[in-house]
Structure 1
Amino acid sequence: MNRFISIVAIISGVIFQSLHAQNAILLPISPRSSGMGKTSLNFTDVHSLFGNQAGMAAVEEFGALGMVEQRFLLADLRQAAIGAVLPTFSGVFGLSLRNFGTLDYRESGVGLAYARKLSDRLRIGGQLHWAQINLAEYGSRSFFNLDFGIQAELLPNLWAAAQVRNAIRQEVLTREYTPTVFSAGLAYPLGEKVSLQVELVKDIDFPADLRFGIEYNPSKLIFLRAGINTAPGGWSFGAGLPILENLVFDFAAAYHPYLGFTPSAGIAYRKKK
């Protein structure tokens, strides 16, 4: 009986609270994004693999990253991911592996992404991903889904982006569906050291979330990040620390007004030309 109650509690917490925060069922994970109010639509580095895949089209060299987050500081709500991005003459390919949860409730998934430039001002990308939910004593459920994204330069240095995640709405559990999410945003650099991002994100089942993020690069030794979001309302901060010529250590802490802090950290590698 206690085990059953534990399972029900985990499911309820993960499905309701995480979906309301728009970050369950293997949705974006990135300490860079987490530190910037969850903005990520206009990223153009290896972190695009876990955000808007269209940004991968700007990656010119092989890159890889590994990340982990402790959702709301709960040991049972840990998510980890690894991925790699490979540019080719036919476009940029990406592969990601994800894992979330406990022995009682676990999500795992694999994503295959692709992006390419249609011109110097237009990039497109998408991802086919497979996810599986394992529920102790009740079996498992697996499914495929699709993400699509675009980035376009509207004016010099003013970039716009849009994306749909989990484009195919599917029932995961009884009356619980994959979170189909539509988002659009703008990014603009304030000089060479500061960039601003603003995004509007709408899960079809929940209120729209307006997000703001800023990244400041005062020197080659550090990137400073901060952000806020409106639904349910929260703030975040983080940093990126280049530790070797090809490696950057990223970390962040995001605050949820009802559920508390979610720390995250990761290592990103990018081959230099």
Structure 2
Amino acid sequence: MKKLTILLVVVFCTTIFTVPARSAIKKVAQTGLQFLKIDVSARAAAMGGAYTMPGNDASAMFYNPAGMALMQSKLDFFASRTEWFAGITYDAAGLAADLGNWGTVGASVVAADYGNDIIGTVFATNEKGYEKTGMVDVGAYAVGLSYAKSLTDKFSVGGQVKYAGQNLGSNVLTMVNDKLGPEVENKVSGFAFDFGTIFYPGFQSLRIGMSVNNFSEQFKYQEEAFQLPLTFKVGAAMDILDVLMGEHNDPLLISIDALHPRDYTERIHVGGEYWYNGMIALRSGYKFNYDEEGFSAGVGLKQTIAGMNIKLDYAYSDLGIFETVSRFSFGISF
């Protein structure tokens, strides 16, 4: 166990401090199904996406499935809505059940709605230079099954298999004798995998670990194949008041993630969360090395009603030249 602790610490520190050295190499436009990268949890988004370690409920399936093994309830339900820019919305839900010595199982779904006012066009030799081909129905989704288990009181593992797909509608590629050519369907789908670990080295509330998201084979629409947005994350989180104050009632959680994405240079996510009286949470975070994303903040409410733990979360994210993004999450556990 001591060797494992040293190994994880070395990997984490190496990833953190080598980000600037590798940041000059950009790898943009190499992956598809980009909706899989969007934060669906308001709590996670408010903390700048630094959520590899903090998640310990059904929302962990979307970040680090190992977090489900640390659930404090027998059954946990999570649902959220993300109001993205340009009228795009993302809806997500997850359900996790603690089976005792058998581990924890879960199911998740996320759906992207790109709106219904997208009009297709094709090049034409008329005065306008194009011909309308009608409305384009587009959307994306992913459904998954997860499993997590604590192998010891300090080490947990988890994984998720999901089926993801995207429909970009049908389109006409060419005009033939001033008539529309044949329509082509633009749909892809296939399996992808997530897995992760969480480790408690034994120092106060510190926990470290890693996750790999969107591991899959190549997808292809027509001719050119592409990968999903595979991302490797190493993270750490700790209630820093453990060190500063000793015994206390209101935790101040600090979380940091180092990301190695397939389609961009290395990134850093940093977030914080302060709970007051176990009922109200204040959160903030920042994403480094993004073109537009950066600052985020949010609040959370938690209350026990009739034996049920109710959670409500809101997050605000600044997307630079784009519109600000709001996220809402709801959770209930028994």
TM-score of the two chains, using structure 1 as the length reference? 0.86
Which of 110, 132, 135 in structure 2 is aligned with 1:98? Answer: 110
1:117 is matched with 150
| Cα deviation digits, residues 97-146 of structure 1 (max 9, x gap) | 11103353211121100000010100000100001111211242110011
2:263 is matched with 205
CA RMSD of aligned residues (A): 2.1
Query: How is 1:63-78 mapped onto 2 (pairs within 5 angstroms)?
Result: 63-72=76-85, 74-75=86-87, 77-78=88-89
Query: How is 1:41-80 mapped onto 2 (pairs within 5 angstroms)?
Result: 41-42=52-53, 43-59=55-71, 60-72=73-85, 74-75=86-87, 77-80=88-91
Residues 142 and 48 (structure 1), Cα distance of their counterparts in 2 relative to 1, 3 Å cut = same
- Asked if 1:186 corresponds to 2:242, the answer is no
Q: Secondary structure of 1:154's match?
A: coil
The 8 Å contact of residues 169 and 180 in structure 1, kept in 2 or not, is answered as no
Q: Give the residue type in structure 2 aligned to 1:250.
A: D
Tell me how far 1:26 sits from its aligned partner: 6.2
The size of the alignment, in residue pairs, is 252
- Asked if 1:168 corresponds to 2:228, the answer is no
| Structure 2 CA distance for aligned equivalents of residues 234 and 149 of structure 1 | 25
Unaligned runs of at least 5 residues, structure 1: 1-15
| Cα deviation digits, residues 179-218 of structure 1 (max 9, x gap) | 1110001101123420100001121220111010000002
Residues 172 and 253 (structure 1), Cα distance of their counterparts in 2 relative to 1, 3 Å cut = farther
Q: Give the residue type in structure 2 aligned to 1:237.
A: A
1:37 is matched with 48
| Cα deviation digits, residues 160-181 of structure 1 (max 9, x gap) | 0101111224234435421111
| Structure 2 CA distance for aligned equivalents of residues 25 and 49 of structure 1 | 12
- Asked if 1:236 corresponds to 2:285, the answer is no
| Cα deviation digits, residues 4-25 of structure 1 (max 9, x gap) | xxxxxxxxxxxx89x79x9623
Tell me how far 1:257 sits from its aligned partner: 2.5
Which of 77, 82, 91 in structure 1 is aligned with 2:93? Answer: 82
Q: Secondary structure of 1:167's match?
A: strand
Residues 222 and 142 (structure 1), Cα distance of their counterparts in 2 relative to 1, 3 Å cut = same
Q: Give the residue type in structure 1 aligned to 2:140.
A: E
Quick check: which one's strand share is greater? Answer: 1
The 8 Å contact of residues 65 and 267 in structure 1, kept in 2 or not, is answered as yes
Tell me how far 1:44 sits from its aligned partner: 1.8
1:250 is matched with 313
Residues 190 and 95 (structure 1), Cα distance of their counterparts in 2 relative to 1, 3 Å cut = same
The 8 Å contact of residues 218 and 225 in structure 2, kept in 1 or not, is answered as no
Which of 180, 187, 195 in structure 1 is aligned with 2:253? Answer: 195
- Asked if 1:269 corresponds to 2:281, the answer is no
The 8 Å contact of residues 26 and 107 in structure 1, kept in 2 or not, is answered as no
Q: Secondary structure of 1:267's match?
A: strand
The 8 Å contact of residues 278 and 302 in structure 2, kept in 1 or not, is answered as yes
Q: Secondary structure of 2:233's match?
A: strand
- Asked if 1:136 corresponds to 2:169, the answer is yes
Unaligned runs of at least 5 residues, structure 2: 1-27, 117-136, 171-184, 242-249
Q: Secondary structure of 1:109's match?
A: strand
| Structure 2 CA distance for aligned equivalents of residues 228 and 221 of structure 1 | 24
1:151 is matched with 198
TM-score of the two chains, using structure 2 as the length reference? 0.71
